[in-house]
């Protein structure tokens, strides 16, 4: 799922291309994409784009008349830009949104249709889509600590909870925890003040560093290589590969559609975490440490 760095770069690229331009047409390739009925989608047509904003992991296109297109890419949704009028062409295309300056195409890989598009009228209606997560770029350490300790969950779950923190998901939570040298399964109630401060700094640094990397990668082009798995990530998607800091093999915990990646030497004092599948199968034969 595109997270804060990816969404930020999408927003910046769109803003440079469509702010001040009229919204000419919206063509839906799937009736399941549109999740709102009032106001009708056609009401946005012909209006000039005033701004492009990020709301958590959502992209918001504001047009004249206090109307807001709210786009959530979910796991497999991606955006593509062409500087000309576009048609629904590729099989995975869910929608094309034509502006005076070009066309934005939304695609979604796979067969599951999870991406969504809403049209909201007014800021109050837009606020319904705000999950309430803390914006890390403007948060203080005290703000961060209060959110982190407001519920007692594992660090992985807390960081990726959109009600607690804005824009962090499965990929960057792995990278943040590796940088902070903290176990993904450690409970927030057991963190020391020093560990909270270390996690706060790691969170801000990881998000800002990756946002800048993606900006530089895209340059003046529209970002086309948005992915949750990047070659220069430390641990996310690196199961079985050496940790870039200590060389220990990166491990994982798999569950549902997600997985947690971590370095057992850097983050868990050499202990291997139960992965909910093989550990249950092997029971007493499950290795407890790197040496095992």
Question: In sequence order, what DSSP letters do the residues of 133-160 get, joined into one string?
Answer: -B-GGG--HHHHHHHHTSS--BHHHHHT
Task: Give the single-character DSSP code of 42.
Answer: G
Q: Which of the following CATH numbers is that of domain 4-127: 3.40.50.410, 2.40.30.10, 3.40.630.30, 3.20.190.10?
A: 3.20.190.10
What would the two tokens of residue 11 be?
């927003």
> Can you give the length of the chain in residues?
292
**Burial call 225-262: b when 16+ CB within 10 Å, e when fewer:** ebebebeebbbbbbbeeebeeeeeebbbbeeeeeebbb
pLDDT for res 89: 59
Which position has the token pair 């409970």?
187
Rounded distance, CA 245 to CA 230, Å? Answer: 17
pLDDT for res 285: 44
227 closest CA partner among 242, 239, 217, 240: 217
Cβ(121)–Cβ(66) under 8 Å? yes
pLDDT along the chain (292 residues), means of 10: 95 98 94 94 97 97 98 94 73 86 91 90 97 96 97 96 97 98 96 98 97 96 91 95 96 83 95 65 49 58
Rounded distance, CA 79 to CA 107, Å? Answer: 6
Domain range 136-285, CATH class: mainly alpha
What would the two tokens of residue 72 be?
């959530």
What is the four-CA torsion angle of 16, 22, 24, 26, rounded to 10 degrees? 60
Q: Positive or negative, the Cα torsion across 41, 45, 47, 48?
A: positive
pLDDT for res 291: 60
Tell me the C-alpha to C-alpha distance, in Å, between residue 28 and each of 2, 25, 97, 115, 121: 21, 10, 9, 12, 20
Task: Give the single-character DSSP code of 274.
Answer: P
- What is the residue extent of each domain of the chain? 4-127, 136-285
pLDDT for res 286: 44
Task: Give the single-character DSSP code of 29.
Answer: S
Q: How many CA atoms lie within 13 A of 272 on its CB side?
A: 19
Q: Cα-flanking dihedrals φ and ψ of residue 64, to 5°?
A: -50, 150
Q: Cα-flanking dihedrals φ and ψ of residue 97, to 5°?
A: -120, 115
Cβ(263)–Cβ(243) under 8 Å? yes
pLDDT for res 276: 57
Order of strands across the sheet with 23-28?
23-28, 93-99, 102-108, 77-82
């Amino acid at each position: 799922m595109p997270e804060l760095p990816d969404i930020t770069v999408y927003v910046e690229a769109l803003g440079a291309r469509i702010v001040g331009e009229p919204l000419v047409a919206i063509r839906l390739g799937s009736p399941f994409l549109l999740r709102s009925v009032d106001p009708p989608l056609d009401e946005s047509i012909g209006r000039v784009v005033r701004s492009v904003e990020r709301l958590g992991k959502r992209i918001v296109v504001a047009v004249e008349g206090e109307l807001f297109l709210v786009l959530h890419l979910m796991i497999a949704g991606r955006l593509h830009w062409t500087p000309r009028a576009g048609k629904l062409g590729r099989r995975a295309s869910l929608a094309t949104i034509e502006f005076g300056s070009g066309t934005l195409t939304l695609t979604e890989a796979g067969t599951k249709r999870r991406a969504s598009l809403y049209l909201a009228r007014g800021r109050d209606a837009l606020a319904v889509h705000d999950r309430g997560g803390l914006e890390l770029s403007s948060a203080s350490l005290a703000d961060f600590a209060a959110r982190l300790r407001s519920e007692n969950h594992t660090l992985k779950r807390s960081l990726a909870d959109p009600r607690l923190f804005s824009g962090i998901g499965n990929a960057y939570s792995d990278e943040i925890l590796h940088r902070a040298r903290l176990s993904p399964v450690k409970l927030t109630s057991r963190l020391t003040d020093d560990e909270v401060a270390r996690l706060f700094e790691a969170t801000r640094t990881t998000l800002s560093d990756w946002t800048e990397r993606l900006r530089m990668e895209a340059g003046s082009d529209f970002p086309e290589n948005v992915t949750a798995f990047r070659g220069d990530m430390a641990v996310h998607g690196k199961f079985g590969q050496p940790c870039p800091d200590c060389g220990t093999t990166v491990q994982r915990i798999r569950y549902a559609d997600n997985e947690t990646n971590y370095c057992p030497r850097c983050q868990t004092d050499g202990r291997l975490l139960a992965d909910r599948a093989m550990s249950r199968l092997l029971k007493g034969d499950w290795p407890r440490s790197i040496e095992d």
